[in-house]
Amino acid sequence: MNKIYQQKHELWLVILFGSFAINDEAIKSRLYDFSQIAFRHMKWLGSDILASGDDYNYDRELKLLQHTTVFEVLNNIKNKAITTIQHYPASILGERLKTDDAYLLEYLEQLLADFSNDQKITAFNKERKWDALDQASLDALTLFLFEESYKEYELILVYAYMQARTNNSLHFNVFQDLIDESHFHLKSFGNMMAKLGILALPRQLHELTYIVKDLEQFVHDGIEEEEAAKEMCKELSNAIKDEKLSKFFDFINFQESYHIELMKKLL
């Protein structure tokens, strides 16, 4: 069962980062919707695995291919979806996963049939250009995006892991809020990385990151991590000579403040 979960985890990432890489807003938005469906699939699969007395982890073998055209991205998602479908269980849930992914494949085929969709991809060209940003601002932004995209990916998976193992409604709801917020942050940072030409997959999580033995200590550590993220946002807002970007990171900073309040509820 963990192999099925790993395949779904990897498909989620392939769709998600494919959406970041593509510039066309309509395709980008639709692929992101499919990535959210794939993440719900992970949630349902995880619950089924636990209910059966088995377990799952966040191991993965995926490498993010540095594509140069939209069709390369779409064909990569297509191939991964076809492979993943073959692993689904013969069950009601398995049928739901299969039909969802069958529609994803239908959507991809529609896009691939129209050659006007095959635009250039610049998400991996490493040009690191953002309007009129100076080099110091670009360096600060680059460092922030690499660190924070990993943090948001980590938080999504850690909170999802803990959410699947609680019967406490308050805990469940707080975890869901934090997962949703981290999805938005990861989406924002992933699209910014693609604009800079530095899109990259976050490093894999070690199991000690998400197998939490002491929930109270985990929450205390999480609050400290959020405080550190707030400081990074403040520093970046001050360092970047771009009013729109500075306002955006102030916005993220204020959201991190509320995350801390949400985590205090867990205590």
d(CA 88, CA 200): 28
Question: Quick one: pLDDT band at residue 267, thresholds 50, 70, 90?
Answer: confident
Do residues 23 and 113 share a domain? Answer: yes
Enclosing domain of residue 43 = 2-117
Stretch 126-133: mean pLDDT, rounded?
91
d(CA 96, CA 94): 5
Looking at residue 233, its pLDDT comes to: 82
Mean pLDDT rounded to a whole number for the chain: 94
Do residues 68 and 161 share a domain? Answer: no
Crossing angle (nearest 10°) for helices 169-196 and 243-266: 160
Number of domains in the chain: 2
Do residues 94 and 143 share a domain? Answer: no
Looking at residue 91, its pLDDT comes to: 94
| Mean pLDDT comparison of 139-148, 192-201, 253-262, highest-scoring range | 192-201
* Whether pLDDT at 95 is above 90: yes
Do residues 109 and 203 share a domain? Answer: no
What share of the chain has pLDDT > 90, as a percent?
78
Do residues 153 and 188 share a domain? Answer: yes
Question: Quick one: pLDDT band at residue 138, thresholds 50, 70, 90?
Answer: very high
Crossing angle (nearest 10°) for helices 25-51 and 135-163: 30
Q: Which residues of 43-59 are buried (b: 16+ CB within 10 A; e: fewer)?
A: eebbebbeeeeeebebe
Give the position of tokens 């998600």.
16
Do residues 40 and 98 share a domain? Answer: yes
What share of the chain has pLDDT > 70, as a percent?
100
Task: Dump pLDDT digits (tens) for 141-165.
Answer: 999 999 999 999 999 999 999 999 9
Looking at residue 57, its pLDDT comes to: 95
Stretch 171-182: mean pLDDT, rounded?
95
Last residue of one domain, picked from the residues 83, 117, 151: 117
Looking at residue 237, its pLDDT comes to: 81
Do residues 103 and 212 share a domain? Answer: no
Question: Quick one: pLDDT band at residue 246, thresholds 50, 70, 90?
Answer: confident
Question: 250: domain CATH number?
Answer: 1.20.1260.10
Stretch 233-245: mean pLDDT, rounded?
83
Do residues 93 and 150 share a domain? Answer: no
Do residues 148 and 65 share a domain? Answer: no
Q: Which of 100, 92, 86 is nearest to 41 (CA)?
A: 100
What is residue 104's three-state secondary structure? helix
* Whether pLDDT at 215 is above 90: no
